[in-house]
Structure 1
Amino acid sequence: MEKLQRQHVNQGKSIKCLREEWPFWFDELGMSVHFKELTGIDLKKTFTRNSLSYFEEESMFFHVEDRFLAEEVQLEQVPLTPAVIVCGQSCYSSKRYMLSLDQNLINTNISSFISALCLMFRSYCFNIYYPSELASTLEFLQRCFFSINPEKGTKVQNKNSKRPLNLNPRVLTLIQELSDHEWR
C-alpha cells in the first residue's frame, strides 16, 4: 500500500485527488506518520529536543516514574520555581506531565509536552522572575515563540543586583543569528 501511495504522489496527482484517496494523510497524525516513514524523522520530537538542547536546559524538568501518582511526588526535591514534572524517562515521549509551583502541585494531569511547557510559562504571570539557570531559554521562548516583546524590562534578574536586565545578551545574540539566517 505504501508503494501505491508514493506512486500517486510521485505521479503528480493533485492534492484534491490525494486527499480523496488517502484522507488520513491530511490530519495531524496521518501526516506525521507518513512524514516519519519517508524521512525517519519525528518532527515534533526533533523540534522540541533541538530547540531545548540549544540551551541545554534539562533543569526545567523534574522526572518521576511514569506510574507515579501525584501523592508520590517528593515535592521537597522539586524546585521552588515553576517546574514541569515529567512522568517517564523523557520529556519528549512521556504521555503525562504535572506542574509544580512553589513545591505545590498545580496541575497533575497534563497530556502533552507542549501543554505542560505552556502552563509552566503561564505561571510566570504570578510576578515570578525566571530562575537564572533557565533565563536564556525562557526569555527566548517568551520573545521568539510566544511573541511577547515588552518595550522595556524582562523576567530575568541581573545576577549582580536585584534589578531586571533590559534584554538577556544570549537571547539577543540568538535572535540576531536567526534573523540573519532567515534573509540568506
Structure 2
Amino acid sequence: MKRLHRETNVSLAEVENLMKCTYYSQRKDINNGEELQTLLEEWPFLFQEVGMAVHFYELTGVSLKETFLNSLEKKGKRLLDFMRNTCADKSKRVLQAVTKLQILRGQLQGCSEDVKDMVLLLLSYFDEREENLFHHVEQTCLGHEIQMESLPVTPCIIVCGSSCYSSTRFMLAVDRKVVNDNIPTFISAICLMFGSYYCLNIHYPVDLCSTLEFLQRCCFNFNPEKGTKVETKKNKKQLSVNPRVLTLIADLSDHEWRETC
C-alpha cells in the first residue's frame, strides 16, 4: 500500500481489498495508541476516501458516504426547510445564519450546496461555533503552509477559500496535522471528518457534540443504544443521547407529520 500510494493510477478495487486484508493490523496500531505520523506512514490510504470507507464499514457495519447520501435524499430537503422556516422564526441566531448563507450562496444550486447550508445551520441552531469545525485559508494555500497552532485538536475541515461556497478544495486535519490535503468536494470532506472520529477512536468535543451527534443519528444512521461519543467530564452525568438532539429530532418529526396532514 505504501508503494501504491506513491503511484498516480491506482486501482481502487485493489486498495479496498488490501484495506480489508490489513484491517486487523490497522486496528491494532490505532488501539495501541500509535502516533498519528506513524499511522500516516504505515497506512496512507486510511486517510483517503477509499481507505477510510473500508475501515469505517469494517468497524461499524455502516457504509460511510452511501449512507450519508441516502439520508440526504430522504431527509435533506425537509430538514433544510424546517431550519430555514420554522427554526428561523423561533431563533434570531438561526434567522441571521439563514440570511447570511443566502448571500454567500448566491445563485449556486445542488446537493453539495444544500449540505453546506445544512451543516452551517445545525451549528447555528445548537449554538456551536463554526470555527471549531471549519478553518479557512487562502484558495491556493498548501498543507505545509497552514499555521497548525490555529487548528483545533479534534478533526476539522480546512476550507481553501473565503467560504465553503467559494472553495473548490478542502483538507482534513487531525490533531493539528493535515492528513489529507486534496479533498475535491464538501460531501467527501464531511464524510472523512466524521469517519475520523470513529476510525481513530476520537471523542466528540463538548463544543461540537450536538452537531456531530445529530449528524451521527440522522445522517449516518448510527444509533447505538448505549454509550456516548462525547468526551467525558469529571463530576458530570453523561447521557446516552443529547437532549438537544432529541428535541430537534422530535420537532422535525412533528413538523413532517403536520406537513403530510
Q: What TM-score results when the alignment is normalised by the length of structure 2? A: 0.52
Q: How does 1:101-112 map to 2 (within 5 A)?
A: 101-112=174-185
Report how far residue 42 of structure 1 moved.
1.9
Paired residues of 1:49 and 1:92 also in contact (CA < 8 A): no
Structure 2 match to 1:28: none
Q: Work out which of the residue numbers 126, 130, 135 in structure 2 matches 1:58.
A: 130
Shift of 1:58: 1.2
Structure 2 stretches lacking a partner, 5+ long = 1-106
- Cα deviation, residue 161, structure 1: 3.9
1:160 to 1:177, Cα distance in 2 relative to 1, 3 A: farther
Partner of 1:122: 195
- Aligned AA (1:111): P
Which residue of the partner structure matches residue 154 of structure 2? 81
* Alignment pair present for 1:98 and 2:166: no
Partners in 1 of 2:138 and 2:191 — Cα distance? 22
SS class of match (2:123): coil
Between structures 1 and 2, the one with greater helix share: 2
Task: Give the superposed CA RMSD.
Answer: 1.9
Give the counterpart of 1:42 among 88, 94, 109.
109
| 1:1-184 aligned within 5 A | 42-44=109-111, 45-56=113-124, 57-59=129-131, 60-125=133-198, 126-159=200-233, 161=235, 164-184=238-258
Q: TM-score, normalised by structure 1?
A: 0.72
- Tell whether the 8 Å contact from 1:95 to 1:111 is kept in structure 2 after alignment: yes
Higher relative contact order (CA 8 A, sep 6+): 2
Size of the aligned set, in residue pairs, is 145
Q: Is the 8 A contact 2:115 2:187 kept in 1?
A: no
3-state SS of the aligned residue for 1:175? helix
**Counterpart contact for 1:92–1:113, Cα < 8 Å:** no
For the pair shown, which has the larger CA radius of gyration, 1 or 2?
1
- 1:149 is paired with a residue whose SS is coil
- In structure 2, the CA distance between the partners of 1:71 and 1:118, relative to structure 1 (3 Å rule), is same
Q: 1:164 to 1:102 in 2, by over 3 A?
A: farther
The answer for unaligned runs of 5 or more in structure 1 is 1-39
Question: Identity over aligned residues, as a percent?
Answer: 55
Paired letter, 1:104: K
